[in-house]
Structure 1
Amino acid sequence: MNSLIIKNLTKTYKNGVKALDGLSLEIGNGMFGLLGPNGAGKSSLMKTLAGLQQADGGEVCFNGTSILDDPGSVKKDLGFLPQDFGVYPKVSAYDLLTHIATLKGLADGSDRKEQVLALLQQTNLYAQRNKEVHTFSGGMRQRFGVAQALLGNPQLIIVDEPTAGLDPEERNRFNNLLSEIGEEKIVILSTHLVEDVKNLCTQMAVMSKGRIIAQGKPVDFISGMAGKLWQKTIPKIQRAVYEQNFDLISAHLSMGELLVHTYADKDPGHGFEPAKVTLEDVYFHLLQSTN
């Protein structure tokens, strides 16, 4: 059983931005969703875990070893797909993956070839193995990114905003790939897309302004909000009035009018009806409660 324990992690950049503000988190095996808006500090956390930047303070331990004290200790167990993984030389997928495998320390030639071919097969890129990666579509590049992240059988895999910019078909294909990686590893999915967390993750945390504001199971978050969510369809022109008088969580256009959701312990009246809770409702409510 793998274990990642983060305690009071801090990081402030030279421009004064406090990206990590005493962040604490514990993660075990399986797919873990880290959900938060752009600017919440998710990428800063991912880069710190991957050893790409130093934290100002705090502790990060993976399987009992401090990543901050010994950044190199986690490298053999780490697979990382960063948000901006996308600059490729004019070489084939097979050759580039073989080169990355060599850099990761896969010295045995036959074992390296076996892993490279198996990962190209797993990511559905085997038929394109001799094509240059820079000619791949966005989704194919992301799947190649997963292939390189899985080289060496890492126990800690980090994927940062992996489906941003993908069309629905490629996004679905990519998520299916992530779900197959296995439950015997820690896989951290950092994203601002609630649907990806809902579909893939059994554990999650919500991050805002450099801190973890909630952690648990998506199903528990949803059940905990049951009976406290209400909805009503209103004319768009009345939005400001309802925002002043009710704790609105969200507002979605529906056939030219607004479907608004509000959080309340009991029936707020005024024509509101009970609403079915989604993870998106939970997410918006958690973010609002910290503002």
Structure 2
Amino acid sequence: MSRALILTFSVFFLTKFVFAGWRDRGGVITSSSESISKKSWLKLGKSERDSITQLLEIIKSTKSGRAVLAKAVEKSKLSGNTIHDFIQSGDVSVTDTTLIRKFSATDPFAVSYQSKSKIYLDKKHDVKNAVLDLVHELTHFAYKEPFNPYKENFSLSGFIEETIESKGGEVDAFLVECEVGRTIFGKSSMSSQCSSILDVEDKFSRSLATKEFYKLGNFYDRYMKFAKDLNLDVTKSKHISSDEGLLISSAWGSPYPMAIIEEYKTIMTKVCENDLKRLSYYSGTSGRMPASEEKSFNKMKNNIITRCANIDL
């Protein structure tokens, strides 16, 4: 017999991108298509599925978009599904991951994990913003490795760095979004966020993008207080800056390092609730374990209690 503890959370954060009205100057979209780009993406086809197909076709018109989509399609096939099975409309654009933990009712050390991801695309978006959001979320879906907050080495500093800088993380998704947006809609339509990471050769710079994600502006002092309260070694965050940034997490309405701390606290609160619940299942049974297992169980128990001590439950 097994039990499953289900932990659901938004793994990735969507940046608020406010784009000025675009004018075609070198993009794939022609001026005669301007009215199409401004219409609701849900009206592209006869059904939501048809509309998603049309968005994917637009994305496929670019080299970067084709590469991301091919990887996403490949990943979807591994579970016997199509890419359409992982995309649907929602209140905001986000990639959600559900982590399912299963463990034996009698063996506290027999634990397995399974994760499932789903892309939600803001149903209020016009075609242009839907294209940009979708390729952003497809980058997360295709390349980002799911994290496991139940592992002992899951730390806040690591979570911040992985969310922003890892393969398929926020920097990668941002770069792909900017590249696809410029190719399809033209350079003159780019947001100030994308323009800010162009280097002297007019290429999107990963280094500049990374630095942009760590700019805290007026949130700097609050971040440093949070870091102290959560025992975060700020010296490991080499890019943290008090400069004013252009990238804001729509999930929390704050710069990414701040938003990730809030997300971490939300995730760890749920993790600790689940871990403490799991420990209660085995209360009173440790005395019937072999001495070696009882020692390991007590160590695991102490680690969980210590780990959760600084999380507000």
Q: Same fold (TM over 0.5)?
A: no
- TM-score, normalised with respect to structure 2: 0.29
Higher helix share: 2
- TM-score, normalised with respect to structure 1: 0.30
Higher strand share: 1
